[in-house]
């Protein structure tokens, strides 16, 4: 049996567009000890493929991290299949807040060293010793306490388009850099309540364990992250303290949480929170672009990339050869000039 996709991206996207049923975008994670990640990966691929599931899943000795799209008519079967796995039985599933059903178009399950790259090498670090969960109601109450500090454990480009009121940014593009930075930032606040949050809970859960490992005591993390918080706040009629858009790592690139637009177009400075990738495949920079600039630069991040995009495809392919794009993210230290 083939345990990976063999179709082209073009064909897969055409198949997705032709589907006549709805899909549900779901995310979940679990820190658990998986003895044989490759065998677990292969078994999971077989079961999820049979249900028409798309998405991106990472498996490691420390657990699983999944963002997927499930056919609505197979959702219950998917849950039952997932719950047959002992350490996933009854696991919380984060249902997307703003879902168009087009979040993924292929199933990819990869074995990794860790489900969250953290840079932690201390053998004494223990994920079992993590911070206390807070749900939406407890989060709102705790944030009213002046002795509470809220820390956003997401990257700059995520924080930029949306975050909780009074949340502190840990200004870095990688989680492994953020952990020691968060410890340093909080050195003068060890007696305060520290609430950590992220998109779906996986990063802030590990971050809370790391803070405890570094000697902090009153550490909390938001259960289910921004996604679960938003769903529960709506269900329970609670004030929603998140402003803007929640960045997500799929084709949508964001879900609208509130009507506030707190960021700007990286090219003209107009209010905007629409992320896109530069249309020049040799660049592919992730940045924020308004409709006016998208039309002006043909979906590119700069005039230089617009000029490249106008070249014949063979010439573009030639220019892309041997180019290491690295981490192509717009940030405060690396700006593109139109």
- Render the burial of 246-283: b for 16+ CB within 10 Å, e for the rest: bbbebebbbbbbeeebebbbbbeeeebbbbbbbbbbbb
d(CA 302, CA 12): 30
**Residue carrying the six token digits 């909390």:** 220
**Considering only CA atoms, which of 110, 109, 105, 116 is closest in space to residue 251?**
105
CA atoms within 13 A on the CB side of 115: 28
Say how many C-beta atoms besides its own lie within 10 A of residue 3's C-beta. 12
Spatial CB neighbours of 11, under 8 Å, sequence gap ≥ 6: none
Tell me how far apart the alpha carbons of residues 2 and 75 are, in angstroms, rounded to a whole number: 24
**204 assigned to active site:** no
Q: What is the largest CA-CA distance in the chain?
A: 61
Place of tokens 């000795």: 61
Question: 307-313: which pairs have CB atoms within 8 A and are 24 or more residues apart?
Answer: 308/280, 308/282, 308/283, 309/279, 309/280
User: Residues 198, 265, 293, 301: which is the catalytic one?
Assistant: 198
Say how far apart CA 283 and CA 163 lie, in whole Å: 28
User: Annotated active-site positions, please?
Assistant: 198
């Amino acid at each position: 049996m083939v345990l990976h996709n063999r179709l082209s991206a073009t064909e897969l996207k055409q198949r997705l567009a032709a589907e006549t049923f709805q899909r549900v975008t779901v995310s979940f994670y679990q820190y658990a000890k998986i003895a044989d990640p490759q065998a677990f990966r292969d078994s999971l691929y077989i079961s999820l493929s049979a249900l028409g599931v798309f998405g991106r899943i990472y498996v490691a000795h420390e657990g699983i991290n999944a963002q997927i799209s499930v056919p609505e008519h197979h959702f219950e079967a998917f849950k039952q299949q997932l719950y047959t796995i002992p350490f996933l039985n009854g696991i919380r599933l984060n249902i997307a807040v703003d879902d168009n059903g087009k979040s993924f178009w292929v199933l990819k399950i990869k074995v990794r060293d860790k489900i969250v790259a953290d840079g932690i090498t201390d053998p004494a670090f223990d994920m079992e010793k993590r911070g206390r969960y807070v749900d939406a109601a407890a989060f709102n109450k705790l944030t009213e306490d002046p002795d509470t500090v809220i820390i956003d454990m997401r990257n700059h480009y995520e924080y930029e388009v949306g975050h909780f009121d009074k949340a502190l940014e840990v200004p870095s593009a990688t989680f492994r850099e953020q952990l020691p930075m968060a410890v340093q930032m909080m050195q003068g606040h060890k007696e305060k309540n520290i609430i950590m949050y992220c998109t779906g809970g996986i990063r802030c859960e590990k971050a809370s364990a790391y803070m405890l490992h570094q000697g902090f005591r009153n550490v909390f993390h938001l259960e289910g992250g921004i996604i679960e918080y938003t769903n529960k706040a709506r269900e329970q009629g609670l004030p929603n303290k998140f402003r803007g858009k929640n960045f997500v790592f799929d084709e949508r690139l964001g879900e609208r949480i509130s009507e506030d637009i707190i960021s700007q177009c990286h090219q003209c400075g107009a209010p905007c929170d629409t992320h896109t990738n530069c249309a020049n495949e040799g660049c592919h920079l992730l940045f924020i672009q308004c409709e006016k600039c998208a039309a002006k630069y043909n979906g590119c991040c700069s005039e230089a990339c617009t000029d490249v995009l106008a070249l014949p495809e063979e010439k573009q392919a030639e220019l892309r050869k041997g180019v290491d794009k690295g981490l192509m993210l717009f940030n405060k230290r690396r700006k593109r000039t139109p």
